[in-house]
Amino acid sequence: MKHSWCRQLVLGSLLAASALPLVANAKTPVDVILHNGKVLTADADFTAAEAIAIKGDRIVAVGPEELTENYSAPLVIDLKGRVAMPGFMDTHLHPQSLSPRSVDASRARSIAELQDMVRKKAAELGPGEWVTGYGWAEANLAENRNVLRSDLDAAAPDNPVALLRAGGHSIVGNSMALNKAGIDRITPDPERGVIEHDAQGEPNGIIRERTNLFMALVPPDTQEQLTQGYVDSLQGLTQLGITSLIVAAASLGDEVEEKRRPEVPELPLTYKQLRGIYAAHGETLPRASVEIAYPGAAALKAYPYKTGHGDLRLKLGAIGEMPAVDGGFTGPTAWTSEDYVGQPGFRGQPFFKDEADLRSVSDDVAANGWQLGLHAIGDAAIDMAARVYGETLAKYGMKNARWYLAHFTMLPSDEAMDTMVEHGILAAAQPNFLYTLENRYVETLDGQRLEHNNPLAVPQARGVFLALGSDNLPIDPRVGLYAAVTRKGMSGRIFGPEEAVSVQEAIRGYTALGPYLTFEEAEKGTLEPGKLADLIILDKDPTAIPPEDLLTMEVDLTMIGGKVVFDRLSGRSPN
């Protein structure tokens, strides 16, 4: 089913490209030719070709193998039967940089291994120093349970320790961290947060959402300490075939005086810092549109730029991600319309007091001419956000504003989806959540709301626009494609097969549709004449292999603007 927004994404025509005049014995000089393979254009008809010609940073022709007879180039890439397609665009990604006081908890495959990491870091830093980290997930650990204060006490009794779970919606601290935060068995839950307790009523170390109760106590790193880590993180995305991303989110705190809501943590990455990074390394990095965490009314009014400022390498995006409308299932605190399984009376948490509170932000964003793209995961959160978005867009007479909801993790009400279609409200979804967070959904949801977690086909059938991304869980687009097509969790269980989409639709969700969120669909997202030459070469054809093989196909080469930024087979990266 083709929606109006699909048609708006079509720029060129392969017929036009193949109709170029032929001159005997004359070849038009270009910079790069790719041929002898399959070219998935990812256009609205998912046209396949065999060769592509690039001049400068743009595609000049796409067509059959005979196209090579019309062009000459200093760089000719023989695909040898492999597949070229548009680079992936991740519509929700948090670049990471490891603090000198942090451990990479994502690498731990057991609590014992994580404890060893913490123990070594504590010895390196010395007694009393904070040890931090990010990325642990119970599904990755041999014990298949959450990390608790007692685990961290055993590893580092003389250091405060605070480790963020993957996804960033919960954090675990040891006893020293809890003491420094002033948290004990009688401490009430903080606003927009939950303090977990054990069977004896003592805090077990886990705090949902209000991660800043620990992290605000940690001495901040300098930008100089973190910058190279961000560069490495962004360059590393090209190895996954990612040529564009939406950064979710950055701060304006080093340019204007922000006034953040209590649940919004200090963001170490700033838009100014990213400008410096891209000025120095831009040609080796994916193109980026940067969401800005809402800085408060005074700061937003004082800031001289708004959505769209910048260029095709780096630009300002929406006021996005923060403040969130609700929590997440990695907390879990996503706001749902029905009780969590086994937790009578608990439906997660809204982060806005009411619709008027949310409207104060949406109206301010509209009045200042910005795009809006807030985090909304639970069905109750999506329902409220859609209503408020629709009211604000109508109030300000905004057409083609392309406001969007980040995540869209549960299937909302029909009324909410109708409102989204009526007002052109979009969604940036993460099908990989179904795979990675399977255990969280099984623990908290049931019935149809479980089966329709991370929905795709059903909302699209109603006309809802869904572009795809990862939110770092994991970043790898192969997992997102696999989950979108198979609807399988890590265990192999299939959830709501009626929500599955074709591999062609999934690929377009990761390529052609993302640029629509950033008003760049005329520039990138498909391999058509006139568009940016942002493309990848895969060792397998994703449209022809069994879905299980999507997880193992390899990115052989990545090009951004016609330049190679990653070459797996050469054994090195041009970065």
Neighbours of 343 (CB within 10 A): 12
pLDDT averaged over every residue in the chain:
93
Domain that residue 445 falls in: 324-501
Q: Is residue 297 part of a domain?
A: no
CA distance 394 to 371: 14
Neighbours of 37 (CB within 10 A): 22
Q: Is residue 387 part of a domain?
A: yes
Confidence of residue 10 (pLDDT cuts 50, 70, 90): very low
Q: Which of 501, 535, 561 is a domain's end point?
A: 501
Q: Quote the distance between the C-alpha of residue 267 and its chain's center.
A: 16
pLDDT (tens digit, 9 = 90+) per residue, 85-143?
999 999 999 999 999 999 999 999 999 999 999 999 999 999 999 999 988 988 889 99
Q: Is residue 529 part of a domain?
A: no
Residues 460 and 330 in one domain: yes
Contacts of 123 (CB under 8 A, 6+ apart): none
Dmax of the chain from CA atoms? 86
Residue 39: φ, ψ to 5°: -110, 110
Q: Is residue 442 part of a domain?
A: yes
Q: Is residue 180 part of a domain?
A: yes
Contacts of 125 (CB under 8 A, 6+ apart): 101, 131, 159
**CA 235 vs CA 338, 414, 471, 560: distances in Å:** 42, 41, 17, 12
Q: Which of 183, 215, 247 is a domain's end point?
A: 215
- By DSSP bridging, strand 75-78 and strand 83-86 are unpaired
Q: How buried is 185 (Cβ within 10 angstroms: 0-12 exposed, 13-18 middle, 19+ buried)? A: exposed
CA distance 99 to 269: 12
Residues in the chain: 575
- Smallest CA-to-CA distance from 347 within 322, 377, 324, 320 is with 377
Q: Is residue 568 part of a domain?
A: no
pLDDT (tens digit, 9 = 90+) per residue, 473-522?
999 999 999 999 999 999 999 999 999 999 999 999 999 999 999 999 99
Residues 203 and 348 in one domain: no
Task: Dump the DSSP string for 300-325.
Answer: HHH-S--TT-B-SSEEEEEEEE-S-S
pLDDT of residue 367: 97
pLDDT of residue 5: 43
Query: Region 181-191: what's the mean pLDDT?
Result: 94
Task: Dump the DSSP string for 177-192.
Answer: HHHHTT--TTPPPPTT
Q: How buried is 2 (Cβ within 10 angstroms: 0-12 exposed, 13-18 middle, 19+ buried)? A: exposed
Tokens 């410096």, located at residue: 276
Give 231 or 23, the one with higher predicted confidence. 231
The two three-digit tokens of residue 301, written as one number? 């009014």
pLDDT of residue 22: 43
Give yes or no for residue 191 having a pLDDT over 90. no
Write down the H helix ranges in 259-406. Answer: 271-281, 297-302, 355-367, 379-395
Query: Region 16-28: what's the mean pLDDT?
Result: 56
Q: Which of 215, 232, 267 is a domain's end point?
A: 215
Q: Quote the distance between the C-alpha of residue 75 and its chain's center.
A: 33
pLDDT (tens digit, 9 = 90+) per residue, 229-288?
999 999 999 999 999 999 998 999 999 999 988 778 888 899 999 999 999 998 999 999
CA-angle at 326, arms to 395 and 269, nearest 5°: 90
CA distance 560 to 155: 44
Give yes or no for residue 7 having a pLDDT over 50. no
The CATH number of residue 163's host domain is 3.10.310.70
CA distance 461 to 452: 14
The CATH number of residue 345's host domain is 3.20.20.140
CA distance 243 to 89: 6
Domain total in the chain: 2
Residues 345 and 210 in one domain: no
Confidence of residue 166 (pLDDT cuts 50, 70, 90): confident
Residues 337 and 483 in one domain: yes
Give yes or no for residue 223 having a pLDDT over 90. no
**CA 563 vs CA 55, 75, 244, 282, 293: distances in Å:** 10, 10, 14, 12, 32
Give 268 or 411, the one with higher predicted confidence. 411
Q: Is residue 483 part of a domain?
A: yes
Q: What's the DSSP call for residue 223?
A: H
Q: Is residue 482 part of a domain?
A: yes
Query: Region 175-195: what's the mean pLDDT?
Result: 94
Asked whether the bond before 249 is cis by omega within 30 degrees of 0, the reply is yes
Residues 341 and 462 in one domain: yes
Q: Treating both helix axes as pointing N-terminal to C-terminal, what angle do 355-367 and 379-395 enclose, rounded to 10 degrees?
A: 40
Share of the chain above pLDDT 90, in %: 87
pLDDT (tens digit, 9 = 90+) per residue, 367-380?
999 999 999 999 99
- Smallest CA-to-CA distance from 350 within 328, 319, 372 is with 328
Share of the chain above pLDDT 70, in %: 95
